[in-house]
A and B are shown apart, each in its own frame.
Chain A
């Protein structure tokens, strides 16, 4: 049970407060309702480039990291297709420093060509290091446009191509900031060892006079239902063939999400899972085979991906995976197996609640989904999934004409 309170400033900033006296720290987690899905197809990679720019200096503070480090703090951020999330932790006695820093960069950035050029260079190196210079690194750059034909999930957060980042102008960047980086488009969580009165006081002092701006309406082109199988073959200098299979699934906030998540656990969570036992250990068709959900706010993906052993052809791999999916569709999962994955989900949730940072992030994410109290109802949502829920979701989702498959051939 995570106890919290909520309030809203006049400028629309939503604030969640969670008191934790067992820690010497304070966490500030700020979630902006902007992600890669808010970009346009000819200008991608912006939300992520922007995340980098946020560390380059704000209107009153030329450098972000040093004042925080002097206060004994640390910070980081991440961007995905839906949101951009900034977080920092520091000794609770130095709380005010966090409010000073985070509010100033919401107020305005120090927009300079030099700062933009440096971060473009960094992001381009990140593109290469994580996506081009790694074996299998470019999989999602190729898979996304296969699976999503209309929705902006069709490009990855890093961007479609390096040239989009190279061509980003200072005007593009300013425009992006003023459209999305507004108090009424953000959710702030203050968690740790300060009182609620102190939190409110600091909030009002530092965030109170930032002007309201636009709120993201979050309207995106809908992905039409898929009616036939889509495939793509790629050759690359990698040591093993790999297969990637994706199916469209529900939104994160749909009831069906929990059934999908437990299905991915039944298939591949841990060494007692079906994929591991049957296809990795027993039939030795794969050296690794995973199933997971993307947890997107708009309808996302259920993904199966694996690396084939030398004796396994793509035909054999595909057939083996389908056999497991048919099993899920046609035979109800046993109570023992279902309670196993539910117990694991519960343990995982309980562990995540021992960290102040995790609690703060979870509260922001939940509020962004419509209700911060979702953090306290997750366990019962998993617990209430029934064997017939699993079978229904499997039957409607795992059909050949709804599959998207990338065959990643190892060049020998």
Chain B
């Protein structure tokens, strides 16, 4: 008779293989990082522009715009013919501008590697941001913004950024209607010229050594290492902690609670704080999920998380709840935090959160495309592989006492911003 009542014996995660990329440099000093898996018939190539992120923009939305329009072509070769050619090879392009760096990522079959890369490099080298393409894109952004401004979660999110960083900080500003249309061909071209000279290439998948050498030569014909300084403005935090945004007709309210925490992932408190966050709202069995979703049925999901930056963390708890229950939800969220600050977590609960985190860690290193993502994260936040080598031990060392200590140091509810977007009007 099978014993169904008791769980099978478990093996803890002891070690996760973490392999840094092989690194090669071109004659001009451009760097190529490679993660091979020769069984793959496909490749992924990240063009990382270390000076192209939101940190570097002086006009709102410039980083994202320059990044997207980098494939908009010139007067002899249109943006659409570039995309047509890349599509013809069966490739896919992803573009995104994060806070520190911007990326253009090419996905394709090995058999069209050289053709698709040449096409893309040429496009990046010769782009002039023609007005025809620029205007259509910016109009679409304006329209998309109008739709997003109808969403309570979007409004709450923007307000949260504004109160934690201030509207004049590159992390705190965002587009208002009309801001996209303020950008011009000239201003976009100028940003691109100054910020897209330097590239790091990250190549993952089935591409062979000989193609790597060819790739480096191609890179030298277009790019060169030129660093750009970014102004590191200090965040201007709003003195008022509670903010409400009225949204007529909303049946749900969006809640955003949190703050900036001025430590980074290398700080001695970080691992304990990370685990405290997981216990609070970082996984399905978290305190917040158990209370607000499972116990009270107020929401489909409630999560807390950190966004990690070089010198600070942005901590936030986010959820969409029944509009009528928004005050209750806020009160319960704060109650859960206060509980974490007053009573140490049990060894069992800590073990659950730790094992969950180690499982996530293991999954995040499954396959070379994931390795490329983890490497990007190190480059963006200025960390070395030591962070990953030490991760498992750091997690295993954390105690309930430390969790209690970091909650009291960083999570006190009277220091948190509370932003709610909902409907105050009785219909």
Query: A: which residues have CB within 8 A of B?
Result: 22-25, 59-61, 63, 65-67, 69-74, 89-91, 93-94, 96-97, 100, 104, 107, 117-118, 120-122, 124-126, 128-130, 132-135, 205-206, 209, 237-240, 269-272, 277, 280-281, 284, 287-288, 307, 309, 336, 339-340, 342-348, 350-351, 354-356
B109 adjacent to chain A (CB < 8 Å):
yes
Contact A91 B7 (CB under 8 A): no
Contact B87 A133 (CB under 8 A): no
- Enumerate 9 A-B pairs (CB-CB under 8 Å) in ascending A order: A69-B285, A73-B359, A90-B359, A239-B150, A270-B92, A281-B133, A343-B90, A347-B42, A354-B367
How many angstroms between the C-alpha atoms of A277 and B80 in the bound complex? 7
Contact A69 B143 (CB under 8 A): no
Residue in contact with A129 in the complex, picked from B283, B296, B320, B362, CB distance below 8 Å = B320
Residue in contact with A71 in the complex, picked from B10, B87, B147, B149, CB distance below 8 Å = B10
Contact A60 B5 (CB under 8 A): yes
Q: Who on chain B is nearest to A67 by CB?
A: B7
Q: Smallest distance from the beta carbon of B44 to chain A beta carbons, Å? A: 9
Q: Who on chain B is nearest to A240 by CB?
A: B143
Contact A66 B10 (CB under 8 A): no
CB-CB under 8 A for A97 and B8, given A118-B294, A346-B109, A350-B41? yes
Contact A270 B87 (CB under 8 A): yes
The A interface, classified by DSSP as helix, strand, loop or mixed, is helix
Contact A128 B322 (CB under 8 A): yes
The B interface, classified by DSSP as helix, strand, loop or mixed, is mixed
Q: CB-defined interface of B139-181 with A at 8 Å, one 1/0 digit per residue? A: 1100110110111100000000000000000000000000000
Residue in contact with A346 in the complex, picked from B90, B320, B359, B367, CB distance below 8 Å = B90
Complex A-B, nearest 8 residue pairs according to Cβ-Cβ distance, in ascending order: A121-B297, A343-B90, A72-B359, A239-B146, A96-B8, A272-B84, A93-B11, A60-B4
Q: CB-defined interface of B274-310 with A at 8 Å, one 1/0 digit per residue? A: 0000000001110000000111111110000000000
Contact B42 A343 (CB under 8 A): no
Query: B: which residues have CB within 8 A of A?
Result: 2, 4-5, 7-13, 16, 37, 39-42, 79-80, 83-84, 86-92, 107-109, 112, 133, 136, 139-140, 143-144, 146-147, 149-152, 249-252, 283-285, 293-300, 320-322, 351-352, 355-356, 358-360, 362-363, 366-367, 369
Other A-B pairs beyond A70-B10, A307-B147, A344-B91, 13, CB < 8 Å? A91-B13, A118-B297, A128-B251, A133-B152, A133-B250, A133-B252, A237-B249, A239-B150, A342-B90, A346-B90, A346-B109, A347-B109, A354-B367
Q: Smallest distance from the beta carbon of A287 to chain B beta carbons, Å? A: 5
Q: Who on chain A is nearest to B1 by CB?
A: A209
Q: Smallest distance from the beta carbon of B249 to chain A beta carbons, Å? A: 6
Contact B150 A350 (CB under 8 A): no
Contact B297 A120 (CB under 8 A): yes
Q: Who on chain A is nearest to B295 by CB?
A: A118
Contact B7 A125 (CB under 8 A): no
Residue in contact with A240 in the complex, picked from B136, B146, B251, CB distance below 8 Å = B146
Contact B297 A122 (CB under 8 A): yes
CB-CB under 8 A for A135 and B90, given A25-B363, A65-B285? no
Residue in contact with B80 in the complex, picked from A24, A133, A271, CB distance below 8 Å = A271
How many angstroms between the C-alpha atoms of A346 and B2 in the bound complex? 45
Contact A347 B322 (CB under 8 A): no
Residue in contact with B151 in the complex, picked from A135, A342, A347, CB distance below 8 Å = A135
By a CB distance below 8 angstroms, the chain B residues around A135 are 147, 150-151
Contact B297 A71 (CB under 8 A): no
CB-CB under 8 A for A347 and B363, given A128-B251, A271-B80? no
By a CB distance below 8 angstroms, the chain B residues around A70 are 7, 10, 351-352, 355-356
By a CB distance below 8 angstroms, the chain A residues around B295 are 118
Q: Who on chain B is nearest to A130 by CB?
A: B300
Contact A284 B143 (CB under 8 A): no
By a CB distance below 8 angstroms, the chain B residues around A91 are 11, 13, 359, 362
Contact A89 B363 (CB under 8 A): yes
How many angstroms between the C-alpha atoms of A340 and B85 in the bound complex? 9
Contact B300 A122 (CB under 8 A): yes
CB-CB under 8 A for A344 and B90, given A24-B362, A91-B362? yes
